[in-house]
Structure formats: structure tokens, C-alpha cells
Amino acid sequence: MDSAIALALSFIVLLVSVQKGIPTFYPLLGVLALMTGIYRRRGVPLQQLWMLMQQGVRQSAGVISILLLIGLVVASWLIAGTVPALVYYGLQLIHPRWFLVSAFLLTGLVSVLLGTSFGSAGTIGLALMIMARGAGVDEHWAAGAIISGAYIGDRCSPMSSSAHLVATLTGTDIYPNLRQMLATGWGALLLSMGIYTLASLRYALSIVDNPLIAQIPPHFSVHPVTLLPAGLLVVLTLWRVPVQRTLGMSLGSAIALAFVIQAQSGLAVLQTLLMGLQLPSDNPLREIFQGGGLLAMGRVCAIVAVSTALAGLLSGMGTLNPLSQWLSRWPGKRGLFGSIVVTGALTSAFGCTQTIAILLTQQIARPLYCHAHPEQLAVDIENSAVVLAPLVPWNIAGLVPVTVLLTDAGFIPYGVYLYLLPLLNWLFRKPLRKRPAAESANVGTTQVLGDPA
């Protein structure tokens, strides 16, 4: 009973912190301290609790190094002019009659390249939203298309922090996961395109001029060669070059372009890599092209570390076992996926962040997948918790993009890709991929986060 009360209190604390704009790290740290106090009150030795937290954090070590590298790559793409070039050329592809479907696909393309829903919404998404408002397009339809597109890449990009986190937690490789995510996502993608195409006929763009297209060239040297870092990422990913090497080569090419094409100084490049891009206050592009860098991604890594410590503690103490046992009663292949969808929705509402939703969903669902191939769990998390989190109004997965786009939770009914993906995967559920018998025999239902899955 005391742990249930503590979890309810934790939910309130996280919810209030999100609404007040308090950095997630601090309330998470408070929740971790609260749960530690509950278990100590039960008589559990502090050394045992510390060991469980360490096991949780240890599993996140690999993904943290990749996240830091992604932070460097995003910053380098900004100062190299790669992101501005993507926006510049992308906006010129918009056809006024097909605005909503174009916005969905264009944001999706940028999100696959950047691997971040926030970054996609804050760059190409914001530019598209400005166009929509100026042309009288319904802002909730526009925001729904943009945010849906932003989560295409957040789910299945080699640059996506959530994709790497899921792969690390489930002990799987990122590239087979990406292939499975493409295979299970094409139906929702095509149906979403159809819906946004029909909506485009009703909400056509009345004007096509966008001042942003004229504002980019004076501040960034726009040239097709500035797309090289993004092109390298795509080609090397298709060749299945290891992720760290792929990101490293993209980073190196972007730094070279920053010197040669953008004529940036060594100090400016170094400062951007560390602190993220910050344009002068009088620059009209300041609010669109910003961010990236080690510092910003370091904050994300701190949240991941605390979240995994909390997940390890909850799992090791069996706090989440009753929910797992209840979900295990759902029979059949649809029942299994239905259970993870319910779990993803609950953890998205409770955790207030996509990271916590992923971690807790993996912890709760892992015993249910003890006989399934690890890739099955990874893909099912991507098709549930990852895309359900932005549909929770107080979860920062959706709250940050709508804030950037200067709109509100009214986008939710129009973010069709986000709920079509889990719905279609539930309706057309394929047989489970089985775990090899030797592995299955070694998988228990009470593992802590650091144990091999």
C-alpha cells in the first residue's frame, strides 16, 4: 500500500513539474529518493537498493555515449548549414493544394534524418506552421500532420535517441529493429497519407510565399553540398555501417563544411558543439535554428540515468509485478500486444516523459515476452509507448512540440499516425517471433534491469 501511495504521489509531482516547466531531472530525483525511503522503511538494506540502481544505470551506459554523439551531430548539422538547407529546399517542395500531406511527409523526412521529434517540430515544423497560419489552414490539422510526421523518425531513425534506448534495454541491434519498424509501420504511414490527402483538399494553402525561404540564404550559405552530412547518414545506414562510425563520419563532414562553406571560426564551431547553436538576438532565424550540443544532450543523459536507476529499483523490488500478472491474463497474440499498448498508455500518463514510458513499459512487459524474440519486444514498444506518449496532453513528448508550434492539445484527434500505428498493429497482428529455446529457458520473470534479457 505504501508503494502505491508513493507512486500516486510521484505521478502528481511529475505532472505538476511538467505544467510548471521544472526540468524533469529534479522531480525524477525526488521520486527516486522517495521510493528509496519507502524500501528502507521496509527494512531493505541501503546497499541492496544501491546495487539495484547501479544495475539500472549500467544498462544505459551504452546508449548514453550514442546520445552524446547525436548531440554533437545535430549541433554540427546546424552550424554547417545542413538543417537550414533541409528546411530551405523542403519548403519549396510544398504544393498549396496538398499542404497537409506534404507537411506530414516533409516533417517525416526531416525527422528521419535528424532523429528527433523536437528538432523536427522546431525547424521544418515551425516553418510549416507559420505557412499554415498565414494561409488560413486549420492549426490543429496542421499541428497534427506535423507532429505525426515528427514521430516517424523518432520511432525509426538511426539518429533517434528513443530507438537506441529501446535497442539497449531489449538487448537488440538497432538495424534489424529499424527494418522491423518499417515493416510494421507502412500500413499506418499509407493510411495517414490518405487521410491527410483528403484533408488537404478541404484545407488547401491559399498562399505559397514563405518569408523564411528568403531569410535563410543571407544567414547561411545554402548549397546542395551542405546536404552531404545527411546524405552520408542515409547511405552509411543502408550499408549497415556501425552507428558510432556513421555518426562520426557525418560529424566530421559537417565540421569540414562549417569551416569551408559557412566560413565559421574554430572557436565558433567548438562553442556550438559544446553549447549548441545560438544565433544573435537580432537574427530572425534565432528561434528556428538553435540547440544541439553536448550540454543539451547531457541533460537528456542525466534524465536517462536517473530513470534507469528508478526502473531498476522498481523492477528489483517487484513493485511492478502485480501489473505484469494482471496483463498476463490477456490471451492470444492480440491480447499480448493489447497489454503493451495499455502499459504504454499508462506509463506515458504516469511518467510524463517518453523516456520513463519506454523504461517502465519494458520492465512491465518483459515477463510477458519471455518466450518471444527480443526484437519482438523492441518493435512492440516502438509501436506503442513511443507513439502514445505525445498523445498524453501533459507528457513532454507532445507538450514540447505543441509549445514550439504555438498551439495546444487540440492537435490530438488529428495526429492520426500516432494512434493508427498501434491500432493497425493490433488488428493485423502477426504470429510472434519465438525466442530460441536455449535462451527462453534462461529468461526469468523477476529479472532486474541489468540482467541479460
pLDDT tens digit string along 16-30?
A: 888 788 888 898 899
Q: Are residues 155 and 235 in the same domain?
A: yes
Question: Confidence band (pLDDT; 50, 70, 90) for 448?
Answer: very low
Q: Are residues 215 and 345 in the same domain?
A: no
Rounded distance between C-alpha atoms, residue 119 and residue 204, angstroms:
26
- Global pTM value: 0.83
Q: So what's the pLDDT on residue 195? A: 97
Per the structure block, which three cell numbers stand in for 301? 543523459
Q: Is residue 362 part of a domain?
A: yes
Q: Domain boundary residue among 274, 295, 316?
A: 295
Q: Are residues 153 and 265 in the same domain?
A: yes
Rounded distance between C-alpha atoms, residue 214 and residue 227, angstroms:
19
Q: Are residues 189 and 41 in the same domain?
A: no
DSSP character for 435? Answer: P
- Amino acid found at 177: N
Contact assessment for residue 84 and residue 220, using Cβ atoms and an 8 Å cutoff: yes
Burial (Cβ within 10 Å: 0-12, 13-18, ≥19) of residue 104: buried
Question: Confidence band (pLDDT; 50, 70, 90) for 50?
Answer: very high
Percent of the chain with pLDDT over 70: 94
Rounded distance between C-alpha atoms, residue 259 and residue 99, angstroms:
36
The total of structural domains in the chain comes to 2
Burial (Cβ within 10 Å: 0-12, 13-18, ≥19) of residue 171: middle
Q: Are residues 310 and 358 in the same domain?
A: yes
Rounded distance between C-alpha atoms, residue 30 and residue 225, angstroms:
48
